[in-house]
Amino acid sequence: MAVFNLLTGFSDFMNENKPLVIILAVILMLILALAIVMVVLHIKDKKQVAEEKLAKEAALLAEMQPQSAPEAPAEDEEETGEAEENAAESGAAETADENDPTAEQEDDEMKKKANAPAKKPEPKKAPVVVKAEPPKEEPKKEDPKVSGAGGKWVIEEDKNGKFWFSLIASNGQIMLESPTPYVSLQNAKDGIATYQNNIAADRLEITEHKNGDFQVQVLNGSKRLLATSSTYPSRTQAESTRDSIKRWAQTSVIEVKNFEE
């Protein structure tokens, strides 16, 4: 009965003071957790101390073990043996020199040579100097591509007193012909100068006709046709003619002749 009354009283106390009971429970749990942490740290400290102690003991044992003396290298023994052999050979050689009568003769000959008067050096002959002739300069050959050598302009006067001109290559091939005549020789020369200026400006075009032939045309700055070449069956031949026109059109050679009836 007394125990029942005690439990009943404790239960009533717990119900009446719940906040206080909760606080006390939390405090007890914190104390318990702190105690567990202290125990774990204490165990770790013991392990660390034990490991350090074992390490120190191992180091002391290693120091106490006697160290073996290093073996002498075999090379020293070999060098010592070689030195002794060389000394023995040199001693034998000295003994042989003392007993050899030819050694004394060689010493006498060396002394005579040392006391002999020195020969006068022969005078050196002066070297013969040969003058090299300067290389002969070969005459520069004129480049036909630059000067236009090999081609010429030909002006012909017809029976009506009009003038026509054409550009002729070194092999006699007609490169260009004026499509219309000029009223005077000076006008024809001026026309040649106009052709030269437009050719130098690379106003040359290759055209293909309907029949498949190719032809080189000279144009002015306004793309107006000035002159045409002969016709060729392939573009390659026309391109070769164009290159020849560029090469020979700048020549200053102008030949004037009468028109052949």
Model pLDDT for residues 176-206, shown as the tens digit of each residue: 888 888 999 999 899 899 998 999 999 999 9
Contacts of residue 233, Cβ cutoff 8 Å, sequence gap at least 6: 212, 213, 214
Report the alpha-carbon angle 65-69-73, nearest 5: 150
Q: What is the 3-state secondary structure (H, E, C) of 232-258?
A: ECCHHHHHHHHHHHHHHCCCCCEEEEE
Model pLDDT for residues 69-119, shown as the tens digit of each residue: 455 554 555 555 665 666 556 554 455 455 555 556 666 777 666 665 555
Q: Helix axis angle, 18-64 relative to 2-16, nearest 10°?
A: 90
Report the alpha-carbon angle 99-104-106, nearest 5: 125
Q: Model-level pTM greater than 0.85?
A: no
CATH of domain 150-258: 2.30.29.80
**Domain segments of the chain as ranges:** 2-53, 150-258
